[in-house]
């Protein structure tokens, strides 16, 4: 069964990598690319998307 969220996917990739699976085997098992596997191995959490990043409101100028 494949993980449902990206956080679960990253955790599963790291878990299988610790058991000795190669990057190629991880790519095949989870149907992801090389970069995704590398990101999962480098970080415990996926990068935030544009929708989840907090943005500061811009100042409104009085004209």
Q: What's the confidence (pLDDT) of residue 3?
A: 82
User: pLDDT tens digits, residue range 9-29?
Assistant: 999 999 999 999 999 999 999
The residues, any chain, with a CB within 8 Å of residue 23's CB and separated by 6 or more, are 17, 34, 37, 38
Residue 16 burial by Cβ neighbours in a 10 Å radius (0-12, 13-18, 19+):
middle
- pTM (whole model) above 0.75: no
Share of the chain above pLDDT 90, in %: 59
Phi, psi of 31 (to 5 degrees): 65, 40
């Amino acid at each position: 069964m494949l993980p449902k969220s990206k956080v679960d996917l990253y955790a599963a990739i790291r878990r299988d990598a610790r058991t000795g699976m190669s990057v190629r085997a991880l790519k095949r098992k989870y149907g992801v690319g090389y970069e995704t596997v590398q990101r999962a191995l480098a970080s415990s959490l996926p990068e935030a998307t544009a929708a989840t990043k907090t943005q500061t409101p811009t100042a409104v100028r009085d004209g």
